Amino acid sequence: MPVSVAPSATQARWARLAPLAVVGIVVAANLWSLRATTESAAYLDDASLHNQMVRYAVGAFKDGSNPLKGWFPYLGLGSPQFLHYQSLGAMLSAFAGLIAGGNTAFRWSLYLLLALWPVAIYGSARILRFSPWVAAAAGAVAPLLVSVPSVGYERGAYVWIGYGLWTQLWASWALPFAWATTWRAMEDRRFIGPAAVLVALTIALHFETGYLALVALGVFPWLRRTGMAKRVARAGIALVLVIALCAWVLLPLLVFAKWAAINQVLQGSALENGYGARRVLGWLVGGNVFDHGRLAVVTVAVAVGVVVCAVRWRAKPAGRALLVAGVLSTMLCFGKTTFGSLIAVVPANTDLFFRRFMFGTQLAGIYLAGIGIVAISCAIRALFTASLGRIRGAYWQRVLPTAAALTAACLCALGLVPAIRQIENYDMRNAAQINTQHRSEQTAGGLIAPLIAYIELHGGGRTYAGLPSNWGSSFDVGSVPVFKYLESQDIDEVGYTLRTASLMTDPEYYFDEDEPGDFTMFGIRYLLYPTYRNPPVDADAVLTSGPYRLWVLPTGGYVDLVDTVGTLTANRGDVGSVSVALIRSTLLEYNQDLTVAWDGAEAAKPTQPNGQVNDSAPGSVTGEASQPADGHFSATVVATRRSVVLLSASYDPGWRATVDGHPARTVMLAPALVGVTVEPGRHVVVFQYFGYRHYGLLFGLALLGVLAAATLSFVDRLPLRRRSVKETSHATC
């Protein structure tokens, strides 16, 4: 570490290169320890969805189409997933996937984003004007975090045996730079443009991370008394640019908000409401936000950093900003559990998982730990120098500063050994599980492959292979349940629940395989069961391979003909619960359904007034063709009376229908399906999905925002003032 007032050339070179060497060593260790991440294996958790989105985007780009406007058919009976979900990371990866393939692009993006993350911490810390050693210490700590919930900036949130929070990983690169440039923009207008771009990028990559980027933009202007009006004005300019830059994400999201479901199943749980102040603060004090399951070495460094920044509150405003950002992130993590109805002041609070804001606490803690480690090393060095400084001799006096610095560095590194060993063991377990799954797919995957090939060849409906809540959780390919493995093969399925914002995602959770009508409601044609289990409905066994057997329903498919005999009132917050009675009834078994009065709108008039029930079916489907990934379904139907053609796809206003080539109004059928009314006779009915149509204008607005940001950044071409020793003295000895 730098030690003298007038350093020699060697010491100056050491001060410049050694911190970079520390970051390089950490990155190299990550690259080696995480190398199994690049190996091919089906995923257990959310990474399976993200991987599938990358493959979908690759296909869309190859077809020359915009995935933001497409119908994503594979989960939850389909949805405009790229509109409702943070999809920028998937599209960026897809560009690489055009060359390497979607699966390869996904795995390597996960590997490199995670392994190289210390570089982002180092770079953003330098923008915050922390010394190279503070930045390097923060970068060294960054890969070592482990928390109880394991959903923050830590291995367990991302890797194969973790939660697969891949979009959060993308945003973990943007948020540090968004915080850093936002803080610098308060004092230097040339940072307004970069801050706006990085805040908008953070929002586009991950919505919840974007909240913390916006929090910084709203809070940082008020952390110094002098020049407050100027800083508020700069924050306002940056906010206007942010809105322009990410309007292509936010405006369609707002326009179609009522067509995206709220996850009712998790409502009221800590997963959505947050853990509450008592639990989170207990974890912090007990070392379980940074060091769960080991000695609280990082927590101690964070605590020292907090003390240093608190003592230097007035003199070192960057440390003050980190403290405030960390406190606000922690308070958001408390969520509804602590704040109750007051949480309504947070926009879109019903769509947030407040526990996830722990990553903001951890990010602030990483920088604070860097400050703390340097402060500890300075104390060790001072003690070493004081103890041995009286030894005489010119040679000793020359080497004493270097010896003191090396001793301090070694002791600090030794203190991190428990954390390093824990992460090393975790990576080894992760690699072992990936390798085991990879080998299993060479055997079990080969056995199930003919059944998947049959489904792909014949199409015409979805596949059911159990649910997480029943036998499906133990029916697997290696360690991956079959209903998750099917997603890795892009099979349209029912059973992998709660993975999208589709209006049918909550009703799907209540799917009952003992109700024959549910198979019609959910458009199921194929049943993939273990050989020891027979389906509860009439089906034909068509193929058996190893422990897997494929059954086909004689009348299953995406399209059916029904009478509507009543209405259901629902909205995006209760469609699951109000549909339970319908899902568990026999209505669909007898070709009957309800129309829906959605979110205060009037329901379509039932085709059978006063709940009249007919003993006979309203007609039949004589032919069907489907291209789910293109959002295109067609069928030939013969109706014996006025009835409704039901498309088993999640309702969205983007659906259009024609009957015999003439446009026809779509209606919403319970729980949240698509329908079109037909008169008696033979008809050709076509359903086609059309996504949001104004992306061109919004992309143009984003381009104008980029040009405005660039203009602001280059208005003043004078070089940045050289940092003084006083400005960075908090970060050095």
Contact predicate 200/245, CB 8 Å: yes
Phi-psi category of residue 523: left, alpha or beta, with phi > 0 → left and psi -120 to 50 → alpha: left
Specify the range with the lowest mean pLDDT, choosing from 83-97, 318-332, 420-434, 603-617. 603-617
Strands 493-494 and 462-464: parallel
Angle, helices 192-205/88-100, rounded to nearest 10 degrees: 80
Inform me whether the pLDDT recorded for 257 exceeds 60: yes
Distance (Å, rounded) from C-alpha 159 to C-alpha 621? 46
pLDDT at 556: 84
Query: CA-CA distance, 571 to 429, in Å (whole number)?
Result: 44
> Across the chain, what does the average pLDDT equal?
92
SS3 letters across 708-725:
HHHHHHCCCCCCCCCCCH
Q: Report the pLDDT averaged over residues 527-545.
A: 96
Q: At what angle do helices 102-115 and 117-127 cross, to 10 degrees?
A: 50
In whole angstroms, how far apart are CA 277 and each of 328, 350, 354, 466, 646?
12, 19, 12, 38, 48
Find the mean pLDDT for residues 447-452: 98
Q: What is the bridge-based pairing of β-strands 632-639 and 592-598? A: unpaired
pLDDT for res 256: 96
User: CA 591, 593, 596: angle at the middle one, nearest 5?
Assistant: 160
pLDDT, position 51: 98
* CA pair distance 675, 521, nearest whole angstrom: 12
Q: CA 311 to CA 371: how far, in whole Å?
A: 13
Q: Which residues contact 475 (CB under 8 A, 6 or more apart)?
A: 465, 466, 481, 482, 529, 530
Segment 162-169 shows an average pLDDT of 97
The span from the CA of 63 to the CA of 670, in Å, is: 34
Q: b/e map of 598-633 (b: 16 or more CB within 10 Å)?
A: beeeebbebbbeeeeeeeebbbebeebebebbbbeb
pLDDT tens-digit readout, 662-693? 999 999 999 999 999 999 999 999 999 999 99
Alpha-carbon torsion angle 301, 144, 151, 340, nearest 10: 0
pTM: predicted TM-score of the whole model, two decimal places: 0.94
Cα Rg of the chain (Å, integer): 29
The closest of 151, 419, 155 to 302, measured between CA atoms, is: 419
pLDDT band at 402 (very low <50, low <70, confident <90, very high): low
Q: Is the pLDDT of residue 405 over 80?
A: no
- Specify the amino acid at residue 275: Y
Angle (CA) 726-731-733 rounded to 5° is 85
- Main-chain dihedrals φ then ψ at residue 460, nearest 5 degrees: 85, 10
Residue 550 to residue 539: CA distance in whole angstroms = 10
pLDDT at 5 exceeding the cut of 60: no
268-282, 402-416, 609-623, 713-727: which range is least confident on average?
713-727
Nearest Cα neighbor of 78 from 499, 359, 449 is: 499
Task: Pick the range with the lowest mean pLDDT from 92-101, 301-310, 372-381, 595-604.
Answer: 372-381
Residues 334-346 have pLDDT tens digits of 999 999 999 988 8
Residue 724 has pLDDT above 50, yes or no: no
* Domain annotation for the chain: domains and CATH numbers: 426-552 (no CATH), 559-689 (2.60.40)
Please count the CA atoms within 13 angstroms of the CA of 268 that sit on its side-chain side.
3
Mean pLDDT along residues 476-497? 97
Residue 560, CA atoms < 13 Å, CB-side half-sphere: 29
The contacts of residue 707 (CB under 8 Å, 6+ apart) are none
Lowest mean pLDDT among 178-182, 264-268, 406-410, 704-708: 406-410
Q: Tell me, what's the pLDDT at 414?
A: 87
Tell me which of 8-12, 217-221, 642-646 is least confident.
8-12
Question: Is the pLDDT higher at 575 or at 2?
Answer: 575
Quick check: 304 pLDDT over 70?
yes
pLDDT of the residue at 722: 46
Q: What average pLDDT score do residues 644-648 get? A: 98
Residue 333's nearest CA partner among 352, 356, 311 is: 356
What pLDDT is stored for residue 729 in this prediction? 43
Q: Say whether pLDDT at 326 is over 70.
A: yes
- Return the pLDDT at 3: 42
How far apart CA 244 and CA 24 sit, in angstroms, is: 37
- Do residues 155 and 423 make contact, with C-beta atoms less than 8 angstroms apart? yes
pLDDT tens by residue, 80-129: 999 999 999 999 999 999 999 999 999 999 999 999 999 999 999 999 99
At 380, which amino acid appears? I
Q: Which two tokens stand for residue 320?
A: 């003050």
- The residue among 91, 352, 344, 92 whose CA lies nearest residue 212 is 352
Q: Percent of the chain, pLDDT > 90?
A: 83
Helix/strand/coil for 404? helix
Peptide bond into 609 cis (omega under 30): no
Cβ 23 vs Cβ 140: under 8 Å: yes
13-70 pLDDT, tens digit each = 767 788 999 999 999 999 999 999 999 999 999 999 999 999 999 999 999 999 999 9
d(CA 286, CA 296): 8
Cα separation, 240 vs 32, in Å, equals 43
Give the DSSP H/E element, type plus range, for residue 635.
strand 632-639
For residue 717, what pLDDT is reported? 52
